[in-house]
Amino acid sequence: MSSLASILSAFGLSAASGLNAYIPLLLVGLTARFTDWIKLSAPFDLLANEWVIGVLVILLGIEFFADKIPLVDHANDVIQTFVRPAAGAILFASEANVITQVNPVIALILGLLVAFGVHATKATARPLVTVTTGGVGNPIVSTVEDVAAVGLTLSAILAPALLVFAFIAMLLAAYVIWSRKRNMAAVKASTNSSTSPPLKWPQ
């Protein structure tokens, strides 16, 4: 894998972590353990440890169900505010460390920022889905996010060049989500101001 492909792969893995921390960690660990497609250097080779893989499977199962229940998914997003960026930092550094000469600290920071940006967009979109669908759409959106995390991870491992199109799609989606949130906030503020009682001046 060339240096450019390695960097694209690092960005793809950290972006996938912003959607679901455990899917890319697990897939990278399994790929490194059972194939020669990924070579992890220490200390990142711990991801291929059988005990670590087992723990990731359990955590993924918990995350899978927690993220599909209204209200519970919001609490889960609060917890994942710390987990997903950390996973993104680890995966970015593990991938960028293979071929490129990216400083490990810079790699960790980049991975953290990418994963946090995706997570923040996801956490912003979920309340909008809850409000507009009464919670019915939460499991559907969560499943789509899981599928996207799997797709990003597999693309990062097998075909990093495809991630360019994925990044463009993610940027467009983020723009739509943040614009919709801003519009809803503006409408709410306008409604509140129009329904507030008139000021009474003292006589």
**Number of neighbouring beta carbons within 10 Å of residue 134:** 10
| The model's pTM | 0.80
Q: Which of 122, 111, 137, 99 is nearest to 178 (CA)?
A: 122
Q: How far is CA 172 from CA 25, 78, 105, in A?
A: 26, 24, 29
Residue that is written with structure tokens 């990924």 in the block: 38
H/E/C letters for each residue in 41-108? CCCHHHHHCHHHHHHHHHHHHHHHHHCCCCCHHHHHHHHHHHHHHHHHHHHHHHHHCCCCCCCHHHHH
According to DSSP, residue 37 is labeled S
DSSP-assigned letters across all residues of 151-166:
HHHHHHHH-GGGHHHH
> Does residue 1 or residue 59 have the better pLDDT?
59
pLDDT in tens, 101-132: 667 788 889 999 999 999 988 888 777 777 78
pLDDT in tens, 57-78: 999 999 999 988 888 888 888 8
Is the Cβ–Cβ distance between 28 and 21 less than 8 Å?
no
- Rounded to whole angstroms, how far apart are CA atoms 120 and 117? 5
Q: Which of 85, 73, 87, 187 is nearest to 130 (CA)?
A: 73
Q: Which of 110, 103, 86, 80 is nearest to 10 (CA)?
A: 110
Looking at residue 91, its pLDDT comes to 92
